[in-house]
Chain A
Amino acid sequence: MPDAIVVRGLTKRYDQLAAVDGIDFTVPEGRVFAFLGPNGAGKTTTVEILEGLRNRTSGDVTVLGFDPWADGAPLHRVIGVIPQDFRFFEKITPKEAVEYYATLFDVKVDAMALLERVALADKANAHFDVLSGGQKQKLGLALALVSSPKICFLDEPTTGLDPQARRGIWDVIRDLRKEGRTVFLTTHYLEEAELLADQVAIIHKGKIIAEGTPGEIIRDHGRPERLAVDGPPSLGEFLKKRIDRPVTMANGHIEIQMRDKSDALLVLRAIEESGIPWKGFATVSDTLEDVFVGLVGRMDDGIMRAEANP
């Protein structure tokens, strides 16, 4: 499968500060790629460089074979973009906005059908300035789709949406993938990335610190599968002495690291032997969010330690 986006050694500097520091990644065509990172990590700068909205300091970037900065005009005919905090002309309705974009892109679009697709048809004739934050984002998504783009850049498309509206946007993203379009998604909702993305990259302080499928990132950077049981500290102390496995306790929640699946029987037997009341016996695995928090936290700790002991 050819690559829709290729990034090699991308760097963006503002004076001495490297907002993006020599990153590399590729996005195959027809896949959903989630680009994650804490605030100020370099996400939006990277996305804007890929969209042709911001020039880079150095490195090679191609999007569908175009250099985004030099070839902005032809690139913008084949990509769709929802910027963060999408804004539009205050006194224009969503229907008029879609028709406006259709004329600019010289395409025929059924405005109502497109608004239906993003669940905004009921507000088709309301002025932009009276739409809620979520409805504005939906209009941004509709406008990004007017030109039937090959790549959709969605910069935090579900921020501020209610759970039902978020699921509506997820359905649109899944449909885009089914149609063979590439989706470049940035989001603060890690479960959203885990649910939707084929591939994930995590950026922190301008550098990519993890990359792969959600499963690969969890496997490579997360903790091993664990057994969890709720009970008093005395149960945790009993298990520590009774079985040869690392045990952690916090707020009445006890986790026992597993070597293999048979450990479940071993631990359950030990719990029963203790005679201490317990409940909620289960296996637990790290989510992408756990891994993200762990990775970013470890990096910050490492940097702080390095700064403290140069």
Chain B
Amino acid sequence: MNGRRVGADFLVFARGYVRNPVGLFFSLVFPIILIGLFGLIFSVTGTVATTVYTENLDHHSAESVAFLSALNQSGAVKIAVVAPVANESFGTWLAQQGYTVGLIVPLGFQSSFANHTAVNLSLFTDPEDQASSGELIGAVSGVASEFNLQSAGGTQIIGYTDQQLGSQVYKYIDYLVPGLIGFSILTSPMFAMVEISSTYRKDHLFRQLSLTPLTKGEWLFAKILWYVVLTIISAAIMIAVGVFAFGAHVGFSLGLLPFLVLGPFFFVSLGMLAGSVARTPESAAVLGNIVTFPMMFLSGTFFPVSGFPPALQQVAHVLPLYYVIDGMNQVMLFHNNTRAIVDLGVILVGGIVVFIGAIVAFKWRDE
């Protein structure tokens, strides 16, 4: 491995890359758009309570008002009391207004409560808005249990306190930042190398390079170096956007660096391997997508893997990107260095295997 030759090839590739606005866009701007988009979507749904349009048919009795007030205080829902609808059902009215959840407190609510006789609330939910339905059912169920207990003169025996893992409370954006850095580590080199491997072959650029003293290993190493630089820049920008725009509790620590180096090492090599084993540019693109897309969604990029069904969690554990994202989570969020080192070990060993495979698979010249 000759450092001067690697440096020269790095410089030529870097110049070509920064002079191509499309490549730069997908490497630096696209991840920022993603973090902005996901950050906005999930910060909004996480903080705003679901509005529940409510008909109180019990003439605003003290118990019914107390019940609705308790629902409001749960924080999960916001009760908006509307005048009883005439000439049509409440459900039809809700649908016409474009509302997805509603509640009717029936006439006689207070007297039933006082006489210990059963009374049914009517809940209206839209199957297409599962999130709001869940918020409403959960809130009503919780408050109804409280009222039932109070009515029966009982005492709450089993209680709970909510303690999140780690030293602080995490928000979605805290998971999203390392996830999207992982997304960038995966997609940018994978798609680029699959494309490079087929276009260089088509344009005879590999043959051209084979006529110089540059070796295949030096050429691939220069690409890895470039994507390491690009990944570090892109990670710094994403962390800055996460922290300053969405208040993420993540920082740029030194422990993150090994992942920003070994991640591109793995995926540049994997992209080159996938592009080299394919016979045509079209099949290279298909193979690249087959390898990339499952990893993109099942490795904890957009949602923590712990929230997946058990079978998908098993799948995630065989995907190399999982170890990159999990390692970065351990370093950036949980400060669990032991697990991070295990993740690094998996990426390093896998990276060496894939790097050697790529060197063997891609040909400078024809038989």
A-to-B contact residues, CB < 8 Å: 48, 51-55, 72-73, 76-77, 79, 81, 83, 85-92, 96-97, 100-101, 103-106, 127
Q: Which of A48, A91, A100, A104 has the most CB of B within 10 A?
A: A104
Query: Judging by beta carbons under 8 Å apart, are A52 and B212 in contact?
Result: no
Query: Judging by beta carbons under 8 Å apart, are A53 and B4 in contact?
Result: no
Give the residues in chain A near B203, CB-CB below 8 Å: 87
**Taking CB as reference atom, which chain B residue is nearest A74?**
B213
A88 and B205 contact, Cβ closer than 8 Å, known pairs A104-B214, A106-B4, A127-B19: yes
Q: How far is the CB of A121 from chain B (nearest CB, A)?
A: 20
1/0 per residue, CB under 8 A from A, across B1-19: the answer is: 0001101110111011001
**Taking CB as reference atom, which chain B residue is nearest A73?**
B213
Query: Judging by beta carbons under 8 Å apart, are B212 and A76 in contact?
Result: yes
**Contact among A51, A76, A86, A90 with B213 in the assembled complex (CB-CB below 8 Å):** A76
Provide a sorted-by-A list of 24 A–B residue pairs whose CB atoms are within 8 angstroms. A53-B366, A55-B367, A72-B365, A73-B213, A77-B213, A81-B211, A85-B204, A87-B203, A87-B205, A89-B16, A90-B20, A91-B15, A91-B19, A92-B16, A100-B9, A100-B11, A100-B12, A103-B4, A103-B7, A103-B8, A104-B5, A104-B212, A104-B213, A127-B19
Tell me the bound Cα distance from A76 to B211 in angstroms.
5
Which residues 1-51 of B have a CB within 8 angstroms of A? 4-5, 7-9, 11-13, 15-16, 19-20
Q: How far is the CB of A76 from chain B (nearest CB, A)?
A: 5
**Taking the complex as formed, is B208 at the interface, i.e. its CB lies under 8 A from any CB of chain A?**
yes
- How many interface contacts (CB-CB < 8 Å) are there between A and B? 70
**Taking CB as reference atom, which chain B residue is nearest A99?**
B8
**Taking the complex as formed, is B207 at the interface, i.e. its CB lies under 8 A from any CB of chain A?**
yes
Give the residues in chain B near A89, CB-CB below 8 Å: 12-13, 16, 205
Q: How far is the CB of B208 from chain A (nearest CB, A)?
A: 7
**Taking the complex as formed, is B283 at the interface, i.e. its CB lies under 8 A from any CB of chain A?**
no
Tell me the bound Cα distance from A48 to B365 in angstroms.
10
Tell me the bound Cα distance from A97 to B208 in angstroms.
12
**Taking CB as reference atom, which chain A residue is nearest B214?**
A104
**Taking the complex as formed, is B210 at the interface, i.e. its CB lies under 8 A from any CB of chain A?**
yes
Given A77-B213, A89-B13, A105-B213: 18 more A-B contacts, CB < 8 Å: A53-B365, A55-B366, A73-B213, A81-B211, A83-B207, A87-B205, A89-B16, A90-B16, A90-B20, A97-B12, A101-B212, A103-B4, A103-B5, A103-B7, A103-B8, A104-B9, A104-B213, A106-B4
Q: How far is the CB of B367 from chain A (nearest CB, A)?
A: 5
**Contact among B4, B12, B208, B365 with A52 in the assembled complex (CB-CB below 8 Å):** B365
**Taking CB as reference atom, which chain B residue is nearest A51?**
B211
**Contact among A54, A92, A103, A104 with B367 in the assembled complex (CB-CB below 8 Å):** A54
Query: Judging by beta carbons under 8 Å apart, are B8 and A100 in contact?
Result: yes
Give the residues in chain B near A72, CB-CB below 8 Å: 210, 365
B-to-A contact residues, CB < 8 Å: 4-5, 7-9, 11-13, 15-16, 19-20, 203-205, 207-208, 210-214, 365-367
Q: Which of A51, A55, A81, A100 has the most CB of B within 10 A?
A: A100
Query: Judging by beta carbons under 8 Å apart, are B205 and A106 in contact?
Result: no
Query: Judging by beta carbons under 8 Å apart, are B205 and A54 in contact?
Result: no
Instruction: List the 7 closest A-B pairs by CB distance, nearest first.
Output: A103-B8, A91-B19, A87-B203, A91-B16, A104-B212, A53-B365, A89-B16
Give the residues in chain B near A73, CB-CB below 8 Å: 213
**Contact among A85, A96, A105, A127 with B12 in the assembled complex (CB-CB below 8 Å):** A96
Give the residues in chain B near A77, CB-CB below 8 Å: 213
A54 and B366 contact, Cβ closer than 8 Å, known pairs A87-B203, A90-B16: yes
Give the residues in chain A near B204, CB-CB below 8 Å: 83, 85, 87
Tell me the bound Cα distance from A167 to B312 in angstroms.
68
**Contact among A88, A90, A92 with B208 in the assembled complex (CB-CB below 8 Å):** A88
Tell me the bound Cα distance from A100 to B11 in angstroms.
9
Q: How far is the CB of A90 from chain B (nearest CB, A)?
A: 7
**Taking CB as reference atom, which chain B residue is nearest A53?**
B365
**Taking CB as reference atom, which chain B residue is nearest A77?**
B213
Give the residues in chain A near B367, CB-CB below 8 Å: 54-55
Give the residues in chain A near B213, CB-CB below 8 Å: 73, 76-77, 104-106
Give the residues in chain A near B211, CB-CB below 8 Å: 51, 53, 76, 79, 81
Give the residues in chain A near B7, CB-CB below 8 Å: 103
**Contact among A76, A87, A101, A127 with B210 in the assembled complex (CB-CB below 8 Å):** A76
**Taking CB as reference atom, which chain A residue is nearest B212?**
A104
Tell me the bound Cα distance from A65 to B146 in angstroms.
95
Give the residues in chain B near A76, CB-CB below 8 Å: 210-213
**Taking CB as reference atom, which chain B residue is nearest A89?**
B16
Give the residues in chain A near B4, CB-CB below 8 Å: 103, 106
**Taking CB as reference atom, which chain B residue is nearest A93?**
B15
Tell me the bound Cα distance from A138 to B211 in angstroms.
17
Query: Judging by beta carbons under 8 Å apart, are B210 and A96 in contact?
Result: no
Tell me the bound Cα distance from A54 to B367 in angstroms.
5
Q: How far is the CB of B219 from chain A (nearest CB, A)?
A: 10
Give the residues in chain A near B20, CB-CB below 8 Å: 90-91
Query: Judging by beta carbons under 8 Å apart, are A105 and B207 in contact?
Result: no
**Taking CB as reference atom, which chain A residue is nearest B17?**
A91
Query: Judging by beta carbons under 8 Å apart, are B212 and A105 in contact?
Result: yes
Query: Judging by beta carbons under 8 Å apart, are B208 and A54 in contact?
Result: no
Tell me the bound Cα distance from A48 to B207 in angstroms.
10
Tell me the bound Cα distance from A127 to B15 in angstroms.
11
**Taking CB as reference atom, which chain A residue is nearest B23?**
A91
Give the residues in chain B near A52, CB-CB below 8 Å: 365
**Taking CB as reference atom, which chain A residue is nearest B5?**
A104
Give the residues in chain B near A51, CB-CB below 8 Å: 211
Q: How far is the CB of A192 from chain B (nearest CB, A)?
A: 23
Q: How far is the CB of B213 from chain A (nearest CB, A)?
A: 6
